Amino acid sequence: MLKQASTRKQGDVGTAYAVSYYARNGFTVSIPLADSQPYDLIVDKDGIGLKRVQVKTSTKVTPTGHYSVELRTISNRRGGKLEIRKFSKQKADILFIVCGDERMFAIPADLADGMAQILVTKRFPLYEVK
């Protein structure tokens, strides 16, 4: 079970889960040198090619028992303006979600394109990875 932690620590744990999953399944995993890219990993495997992976984690459970995963990124711009960016398939090929109960999902980016939030519901077993 993932423990609630700071956003940065929770993100580090989620990235570690994703690296472990892809490495165990025969992918070469690359981690960007800087934290300025909109993706967290690049994975490569013969026959699949290079894929950019954005990792998101959540320990937040809704009253209906689903995990609520924030996909939007909020950053401060010069002059104090906030910039809010939704998930974009232009910036990642795979959305990798790690839930607080340690379930993991690899979702094609086009299914989450333009979303600010996603609920992990019963339809997600299609994308669940182990």
Q: Which domains does the chain have, with CATH numbers?
A: 7-129 (3.40.1350.10)
Is pTM beyond 0.85? Reply is yes
Residues 6+ apart with CB under 8 A from 10: 2, 4, 57, 59
pLDDT in tens, the chain (130 residues): 566 666 667 888 999 999 999 999 999 999 999 878 889 999 999 989 999 999 999 999 999 989 999 998 887 777 778 888 899 999 999 999 999 999 999 999 999 999 999 999 876 778 889 8
* Beta-strand relationship, 94-99 and 49-58: parallel
First to last CA, the chain: 15
pLDDT at 88: 95
User: What is the rounded radius of gyration, in angstroms, for the C-alpha atoms of the chain?
Assistant: 15
CA distance 130 to 121: 17
Q: What are the pLDDT digits (tens) for 47-77?
A: 899 999 999 999 999 999 899 999 988 877 7
pLDDT at 84: 83
